[in-house]
Structure 1
Amino acid sequence: MTIDVTTAVHAVDASAVAALFPDRPRLLALGEPTHGEDTLLGLRNRLFRQLVEQEGYRTIALETDCLMGLTVDAYVTSGTGTLEEAMERGFSHEWGAFTGNRDLVRWMRAHNEGRPASERVRFAGFDGPLEITAAASPRQALTMLHSYLSARMDADLLPCTTDTLDRLLGNDARWTEPEAMWNPAKSVGRSADARELRLHADDLATLLVTQGPHLVEASTREEWDRARLCARTATGLLRYHYWMADPSPARMTRLCALRDAMMADNLLALAERGPTLAGGHNGHFQRIASSMQMGGPVEWWGAGALVSRHLGGAYGFLATALGTIRHRDVDAPPPDTVEGLLYGLPRDHCLIDAPKLASALATTPPAARVSPWFGYSPLAPASLSTTDGIVYIKDMASEAEWAGGPTTGSGSGH
């Protein structure tokens, strides 16, 4: 495939990203096609740092547990705890072990040191308390929400006591049973206790709405935002557990959709607070339907599609595409794919104006790349016209190569 796309190619920096949009997106998402690669995380850190310093973004949200992320936020904004505690307790999916994430948290803390609250950069997780093979107990979210409400309103308005919640929750191990992801019969989600908890969670969340004027006056903005987060998480988790117990063929599709709905709600709440940067998988951020193979094909609308429907032009999406990941046996891409076309560019990495690229390829539709490694998702050609920009990295360094190469540029605290 020989197509001139040079007019769509730019350096990967904040000014080039800003030029892709008529106005600064209130929520700007940077996707990645695989997780945990230091090259990707280093580039993300450099770009996010520039966007904070030059474009005024004030929240960085990553695809990690929204409740655990509160620990990281406390550390980067006020120095609560230590870096080690933030990395160990503040990330799900074992992402606290990634060097790039450690560098990002260290930089955020250094950036915030001595700054007024209005200029500090906040951290947030936007994923639910969910792992690939398990979902958390709703205990933390429910008890935090109940505590917030009981401290600010008449007990007669509360639908239940903490003793009732404890009794219905029971042992947390029954909620986190690993076999429940693959065997609906192992899920507690449709038990009598779980059904009653869903009603209580709904009533507690509704109190935030019906008592909103009083609660806002009786709370700091921080307390109010956290209560809303707990309400979203409690109701979302109980809904997720309910459908984990579903034996129908649509079960996995529904679970994927529910997880992304929780992500979308969290992202919208963060965007409401102020300009937000988000980092996660391309599949969660793209505007077209997401899909994967998990015991068969699964397709659903991801968080990006849901958020875009609400925010319109205030949502921006940059996808990341890769040439090679040789340490994962992902070699040079076929020339008739999007990645293959970009692989011929004389740059190690660059930013592509995706709508211009889509226009250039309109008469020569590219083929879909097929990955030999399950952990890497190639760019979907159909997504080009609905993507604002593509960050392209020609060759990924292995962990060993990265360790001996340049630093991320985001961990020095400038």
Structure 2
Amino acid sequence: MERAPTHTTLDDWIAREAVPFSVDSPAAVHAAVDTMVAGLGEPVELLGFGEALHGGEELLILRNRLFERLVTAHGYSAIAIESSFPRAHVVNEYVAGPVRQPGPASYEAIQESGFSHGFGRLAANRELVEWMRQYNADPAHRIKLRFYGFDSPTEMTSSDSPRQLLHFALDYLTSIDSASGQAYRARIDPLLGEDADWENPAAMFDPAKSIGRSPAATALRIETEDLISELHVRRPELVAKSDQDRYLEAAHYAVAARQLLNYHAELARESSERTASLLGIRDAMMADNLAYIVARERGRGKVLAFAHNSHLRRGKAEWQLGPDLLIWWTAGAHLNEMFGARYAVIGSGVGVSAANGIGQPEAGTLEARLAAAPGPARLIPTHKGQGLPTAAIETLPIRSGSTKNSTYFALTHQSFTDFDWLAVLDSVTYSRGGPPLP
């Protein structure tokens, strides 16, 4: 990559390097994306696009336009969003189209079961999925697009049972070695018990309500380790009797089950660090899921990952929860170690959003400076702060937050090293299909 230019002021950096575009103009979006991709260079296999908040409609539309351009011009074959990894399997079946029938025949059939966090109800997500299905239906497109979720199978107020993950791996093993698969199932199913016990919302707030360290859960963790070991030891045989893609998928589901069981065990632990630890486990699972997805797509194309800025940024995450400051390593920090230059990430910011309770950014803040540049949206490289005035970056004021949407986080001086590029929109509305805000 070329050496970053030197700018004496932040205003000079913005004036010289901001790439203006409008989300409503395909040609302008294409030109901006092409400029950004050229600036990132060839090594990138995984490109992250972070959203400044959950609920920014135009950020979702920009994500869709970005992915479309990456697919048609830059060799991308898959998108992974901040939604449950195991649930997304059914969405990918729908995206694959009639070739994968019998499968879901309509988006309504996957809207709830295929997404976590209620994200299937967002109109922009439906538009993304339908575009992918239509793209795959064209015989001229030899490489078919894939849809993934890369989030852990957890919610802010509950966590899934490990049943779906374990049964996926067991179904695979049983399809090749019925006796071994059935033997594992006979031992595992009684230990799983009732899904409602695993998914008890009270466990998120009271460790005593969690079954994550019960004798059955502990025994299940041992059985899961044995299953993972068997899949690994028998890899040559299992690949030969199925194929590498199916094998790696089943093996990853088994590993994801282990991680989810570890999450449940942490839920049951009495500790002042419990919440931060759970957040850290979730982000580590996100990173592992993305590493698997990139490996699966290698040879087919590159991957776009979409999630909140706080997950994809390279630095540590911080969250002030009441009197407690929670700090943990983000998925982006893990990915930076795993992929190095093969991971790049775009962070986003917004100027105003009345619907989300975000007012005008205060003078001197990064959002105010960037929103003053030609727009109504713009992309700009951060150069990781190199060639930019260090003192001006370190003393940047942070704009005020949202009065309605607690998922909104402003850009800070750390955004220069957290992200490779920034996408800042003058304004955003609230997501179509999103839950009501206060």
Question: How many Å separate the matches in 1 of 2:237 and 2:402?
Answer: 56
Are 2:401 and 1:371 aligned? yes
Q: Aligned residue for 1:262?
A: 285
Q: 2:116 aligns with which of 81, 92, 97?
A: 92
Q: Aligned residue for 1:412?
A: none
Q: 1:384 aligns with which of 405, 416, 419?
A: 416
Question: How many Å separate the matches in 2 of 1:72 and 1:36?
Answer: 21
> Alignment identity in percent?
34
Are 2:15 and 1:6 aligned? yes
Are 2:202 and 1:179 aligned? yes
Mean Cα deviation higher: 319-328 or 114-123: 114-123
Distance 1:172 1:232, change over 3 A: same
Question: How many Å separate the matches in 2 of 1:356 and 1:189?
Answer: 41
Letter in 2 for 1:382: Q
Give the superposition deviation at 1:399.
5.6
Question: How many Å separate the matches in 2 of 1:189 and 1:392?
Answer: 42
Q: Aligned residue for 2:61?
A: 42
Distance 1:126 1:315, change over 3 A: same
Give the superposition deviation at 1:211.
1.1
Q: Aligned residue for 2:91?
A: 72
Matched position secondary structure for 1:119: coil
Asked if the contact 1:3–1:360 (Cα under 8 Å) also holds between the matched residues in 2, the reply is no
Are 2:162 and 1:147 aligned? no
Matches within 5 A, 1:23-34: 23-34=42-53
Q: 2:429 aligns with which of 373, 379, 397?
A: 397
Give the superposition deviation at 1:398.
4.4
Give the superposition deviation at 1:227.
0.2
Q: Aligned residue for 1:188?
A: 211
Give the superposition deviation at 1:120.
0.8
Q: Aligned residue for 1:407?
A: none
| CA deviation map 1:373-395 (0-9, x unaligned) | 32211123213134110011011
| CA deviation map 1:356-388 (0-9, x unaligned) | 766434231312233133221112321313411
Asked if the contact 2:84–2:116 (Cα under 8 Å) also holds between the matched residues in 1, the reply is yes
TM-score by length of 2: 0.87
Q: Aligned residue for 2:314?
A: 287
Matched position secondary structure for 1:161: helix
Distance 1:65 1:326, change over 3 A: same
Q: Aligned residue for 1:408?
A: none
Letter in 2 for 1:25: V
Are 2:224 and 1:201 aligned? yes
Are 2:345 and 1:317 aligned? yes
Distance 1:117 1:159, change over 3 A: farther
Letter in 2 for 1:106: E
| CA deviation map 1:121-166 (0-9, x unaligned) | 100000111111111001111122122223324746x795323222
Q: Aligned residue for 2:372?
A: 344
Matched position secondary structure for 2:55: coil
Give the superposition deviation at 1:94.
0.5
Letter in 2 for 1:8: E
Q: Aligned residue for 1:134?
A: 158
Mean Cα deviation higher: 10-19 or 195-204: 10-19
Q: Aligned residue for 1:405?
A: none
Q: How many residues align?
A: 399
Letter in 1 for 2:278: L
Q: Aligned residue for 1:122?
A: 146
Q: Aligned residue for 2:326?
A: 298
Question: How many Å separate the matches in 2 of 1:145 and 1:356?
Answer: 41
Letter in 2 for 1:9: A
Asked if the contact 1:112–1:120 (Cα under 8 Å) also holds between the matched residues in 2, the reply is yes
Asked if the contact 2:377–2:426 (Cα under 8 Å) also holds between the matched residues in 1, the reply is yes
Are 2:363 and 1:331 aligned? no
TM-score by length of 1: 0.91
Asked if the contact 1:18–1:24 (Cα under 8 Å) also holds between the matched residues in 2, the reply is no
Question: How many Å separate the matches in 2 of 1:117 and 1:89?
Answer: 28
What is the Cα-based RMSD across aligned positions, in Å? 2.0
Give the superposition deviation at 1:109.
0.5
Question: How many Å separate the matches in 2 of 1:121 and 1:239?
Answer: 32
Runs of 4 or more above 6 Å deviation: none
Distance 1:57 1:205, change over 3 A: same
Give the superposition deviation at 1:114.
3.1
Give the superposition deviation at 1:253.
1.1
Give the superposition deviation at 1:294.
3.0
Question: How many Å separate the matches in 2 of 1:91 and 1:277?
Answer: 17
Question: How many Å separate the matches in 1 of 2:245 and 2:10?
Answer: 54
Question: How many Å separate the matches in 2 of 1:361 and 1:324?
Answer: 26
Matched position secondary structure for 1:58: strand
Gaps of 5+ in 1: 401-414
Asked if the contact 1:142–1:234 (Cα under 8 Å) also holds between the matched residues in 2, the reply is yes
Matched position secondary structure for 2:40: coil
Question: How many Å separate the matches in 1 of 2:170 and 2:140?
Answer: 31
Give the superposition deviation at 1:263.
0.5
Distance 1:237 1:116, change over 3 A: farther
Question: How many Å separate the matches in 1 of 2:258 and 2:142?
Answer: 31
Question: How many Å separate the matches in 2 of 1:318 and 1:288?
Answer: 14
Distance 1:145 1:282, change over 3 A: same
Q: Aligned residue for 1:403?
A: none
Question: How many Å separate the matches in 2 of 1:380 and 1:247?
Answer: 34
Matched position secondary structure for 2:424: strand
